[in-house]
Amino acid sequence: MSSGSSGFSSFKGSRFSRRRVTAGAAALAAVVALSACGAKTDAAGGSSDKAAKADTSGDTVKVGLLNSLSGTMAISEVTVRDSLKLAIEEINASGGVLGKKIKPISEDGASDWPTFAEKANKLIKEDRVVATFGCWTSASRKAVKPVFEKNKSLLFYPVQYEGLEESPYIFYTGATTNQQIVPALDYLKSEGKKSIYLVGSDYVFPRTANKIIKAYAKANGMKVLGEDYAPLGSTEFSTIANKVKASKADAVFNTLNGDSNVAFFKEYKSAGLTAKSMPVVSVSIAEEEVKSIGSQYLAGQLTAWNYYQTTTGEANTEFVKAYKAKYGQDKPTSDPMEAAYTSVYLWKAMVEKAKSFDPEKVKAASDGITFDAPEGKVTVDGASQHIYKTARIGKIGSDGLIEQVWDSGKAIKPDPYLKGYSWASGLS
């Protein structure tokens, strides 16, 4: 075919115009981009400070609730969100904070760490909240930590965790390792358990916890007979159950998370292992999880927390009553929920002592703040921004509730880096 056909001659013409337009567009884009940057460089400093500053002008103040309402973590985090809302309602009913009502802004972290960072940014910059409550997994906390630090805004984190962290803008109201894992080991030791097997999900908390356990065991004459990790969400535990059984350990230390616990305990029972022959101490199984695994498989097994629904005391009776009244009689209360509930009251007390919502002033006022929490009296340690907590070992009953069988007697001073324990010196 000759190239003189109509199609091809206009082909050339079109190319020509395309070049021209493209060149024009590129030049325009470049100019616009440069000018946009130039302008922003001058203005940015002022405007961004203003944007990040919390809004305390009206007669309400906003706080952020940052929890996974969808995805795999929603199971646990929704309960935390519910108990945060309960605390806020109670505070508003009794007059609010510094005369201002609290307005909660709830955001969904969607069990996805970058989403947590995004939503934290939104709460601080768009909603201009005075403080944020929430996060559950270590990964989500690590993801938002720089956001709160960058914007100098406060996060209250309500879940037991692996320690080794002190962020100036986070208050940790769950247990650190020396308030949960170390006491649990003390308990096992006092019960005469000489050898243990470690089972955990493959993520930061179990791996760090097991590092601490191994150091403790070495210093205390206990043997660690095995250590196994299953990918998060893994539900095939027959091999691990075989390994545990073959090890003939005195006890199992379980740091599995979520769905994996269900499969693990079903397999554990099928293998003929019982709470009598080889007790399992779990640090991630609270009342809610007992409900979903079934006491058929769990009765007699041990847990380590700072609070149970059955914890005695006036404050807890009222908390449980209020929670069930609001969310249903069949809804149990658990440690992270209690820590979340407590965190709101602690924040209120700090604000009132500081007479300001300003994060810097709130931080400065935090040391020594106390609150009669459902778990008992808690005190804020201003230096580490953790709180003093009592450790409690519980036994799961056939009714699905957890009965306390041991406690540490007094609230333990938080020590996230385990500086007070000589055996832990090589850990970090």
Q: Which residue has the tokens 């693990």?
A: 264
C-alpha separations of 160 from 97, 262, 297, 387, 391 in Å: 27, 21, 24, 11, 11
CB of 253 to other proteins, least distance (A): 17
Report the residue from 83, 132, 137, 301 that binds other proteins according to the rule CB under 8 A: 137
Binding to other proteins by residue 362, rule CB under 8 A? no
Residue 426's contacts (CB-CB under 8 Å, 6 or more residues apart) are 215
Report the residue from 190, 242, 277, 398 that binds other proteins according to the rule CB under 8 A: 242
Q: Mind giving me the DSSP string for 255-295?
A: E--THHHHHHHHHHHHTT--TTTS-EEESS--HHHHHHH-H
Stretch that binds other proteins, among 145-153, 185-193, 277-285, 359-367 (CB under 8 A): 145-153
Residue 361's contacts (CB-CB under 8 Å, 6 or more residues apart) are 354, 355
Region of residue 249 (left: phi > 0; alpha: psi -120 to 50; beta: else): beta
Burial class (CB in 10 A: 0-12, 13-18, 19+), 407: middle
CB of 287 to other proteins, least distance (A): 11
Stretch that binds other proteins, among 176-184, 198-206, 299-307, 316-324 (CB under 8 A): 198-206
CB of 267 to other proteins, least distance (A): 7
Site residues for other proteins, 279-338, by CB under 8 A, read: 288, 291-294, 296-297
Site residues for other proteins, 206-225, by CB under 8 A, read: 207-208
Site residues for other proteins, 164-193, by CB under 8 A, read: 164
CB of 281 to other proteins, least distance (A): 21
Stretch that binds other proteins, among 179-187, 217-225, 264-272, 369-377 (CB under 8 A): 264-272
Nearer of residues 20 and 321 to other proteins, judged by Cβ: 20
Binding to other proteins by residue 152, rule CB under 8 A? no
The amino acid occupying position 265 is F
Determine contact, residues 154/362, Cβ cutoff 8 Å. yes
Stretch that binds other proteins, among 242-250, 303-311, 356-364, 383-391 (CB under 8 A): 242-250
Binding to other proteins by residue 155, rule CB under 8 A? no
Q: Which two tokens stand for residue 148?
A: 């709160």
Binding to other proteins by residue 3, rule CB under 8 A? yes
Report the residue from 271, 275, 299, 322 that binds other proteins according to the rule CB under 8 A: 271
Binding to other proteins by residue 125, rule CB under 8 A? yes
Determine contact, residues 122/107, Cβ cutoff 8 Å. yes
Nearer of residues 17 and 94 to other proteins, judged by Cβ: 17
CB of 182 to other proteins, least distance (A): 18
- Report the alpha-carbon distance of residue 155 to residue 153 in Å, rounded: 7
- Report the alpha-carbon distance of residue 93 to residue 248 in Å, rounded: 55
Binding to other proteins by residue 419, rule CB under 8 A? no
Stretch that binds other proteins, among 168-176, 269-277, 376-384, 405-413 (CB under 8 A): 269-277
Binding to other proteins by residue 277, rule CB under 8 A? no
- Report the alpha-carbon distance of residue 388 to residue 121 in Å, rounded: 30
Nearer of residues 91 and 164 to other proteins, judged by Cβ: 164
Residue 343's contacts (CB-CB under 8 Å, 6 or more residues apart) are 84, 87, 133, 156, 157, 158, 171, 173
Binding to other proteins by residue 425, rule CB under 8 A? no
Instruction: Give the number of residues in contact with other proteins, rule: CB under 8 A.
Output: 98
Site residues for other proteins, 40-59, by CB under 8 A, read: 40-41, 44, 47-48, 51
Binding mask 85-124 vs other proteins (x if CB under 8 A, - otherwise)?
Answer: ----------------------xx-x-xxx--xxx-xx--
Q: Measuring CA to CA, which residue among 359, 411, 388 is closest to residue 152? A: 359
Stretch that binds other proteins, among 233-241, 307-315, 376-384, 405-413 (CB under 8 A): 233-241
Report the residue from 198, 230, 251, 380 that binds other proteins according to the rule CB under 8 A: 230
Q: Measuring CA to CA, which residue among 305, 303, 341 is closest to residue 321? A: 341
Q: Measuring CA to CA, which residue among 302, 321, 290, 315 is closest to residue 392? A: 302
